[in-house]
Amino acid sequence: MHSKIPGFLPLAFASLFNSVMVDAAEINNVADPELKACIVRNMPEQTMTQKLTFVVYEGKDEISSTSADLFWKREADGNSKVVVRVTAPHDRAGIAVLALEKTGAQPEFHVFLPETKRERRVAGRTIDASMFGTDFSYDDFSHLQGIATGGGVKRLDNEKIDGADNLVIELQPGSEGSKYSRILTYVDKARCALTKMSFFAKNGTPLKELTVPREEVKALGDRWIPFTVVLNDHKGGRRTVLKVNDIKYDPDIKDILFSPMHFAAGQ
């Protein structure tokens, strides 16, 4: 199997999110027919937009809530590009992240901060930094969106979760900056929808676990979409709840939105 794992959220943070997101060029490199069928079943044709809410908790206490718009588009060469732009609260509105998939290389991240009125490149150790004060890092985002490259991917034996048969995929990230030794992704076989992802440290310790409540996976046409995703940070003791409030497939999105010079200005 090819070294890039499909993203199981359109970010969707799905993600995020959509159940499976992978560029068209990757489909022919997926040897497993069962996995390939899931990818084809849930892919948008060309574009997708989402309205998202991230709520961060420490224990039972809510410590922050962030709303954002997500824009995703597939380029002619099959590579993906994603913009996530904060719309609330007021003091963070306008913060934006751009992710550009690169053939044979790690994804390229850019961040726009309204107070500086400038974009900057995210690189090196910064890839592990928090996005919008949530428990999602840029590294997590790249895996969720299916734009992380390198490393090894293999299909493991199916597992039952809450009575449902799940496909299990193991990724060993090839990114030098990734803090993960492996990531396990579980996908509901019948729905082709994400069930959970487990992220492990270099020493094998579980670092994070992303879960999708089964009742939050809902049919949208012939696709099953996770509308709520929960990310538990075992080390930090926090959790981030991501909700998809609205999703549209294949709307018109101008290419200029994904330019590092212009992505924060909107469509």
Residue by residue, pLDDT tens for the chain (267 residues) are: 333 333 333 333 333 333 333 444 344 455 677 777 776 676 777 898 999 999 999 989 999 999 999 998 888 887 888 898 999 999 889 988 888 887 777 778 888 888 888 888 876 445 455 666 676 666 665 555 443 444 567 789 999 999 999 988 887 776 556 778 888 888 898 988 889 989 898 899 999 898 999 999 999 888 888 899 898 989 888 898 989 999 988 899 999 999 988 877 765
What Cα–Cα distance (Å) separates residue 151 from each residue in 74, 193, 200?
Answer: 23, 23, 14
State residue 140 phi and psi, 5-degree precision: -60, -45
Q: For residue 228, count CB atoms less than 10 angstroms from its CB and return exposed for 0-12, middle for 13-18, buried for 19 or more.
A: middle
pLDDT at residue 161, as a whole number: 95
Spatial CB neighbours of 112, under 8 Å, sequence gap ≥ 6: 94, 95, 96, 97, 98, 118, 119, 263, 264
The model's pTM: 0.79
pLDDT at residue 138, as a whole number: 60
- Contact (Cβ atoms closer than 8 angstroms) between residue 84 and residue 51: no
Which CATH superfamily is 24-246 part of? Answer: Lipoprotein localisation LolA/LolB/LppX (2.50.20.10)
Q: Which amino acid does the sequence have at 227?
A: F
What Cα–Cα distance (Å) separates residue 79 from each residue in 43, 64, 105, 194?
Answer: 13, 33, 11, 22
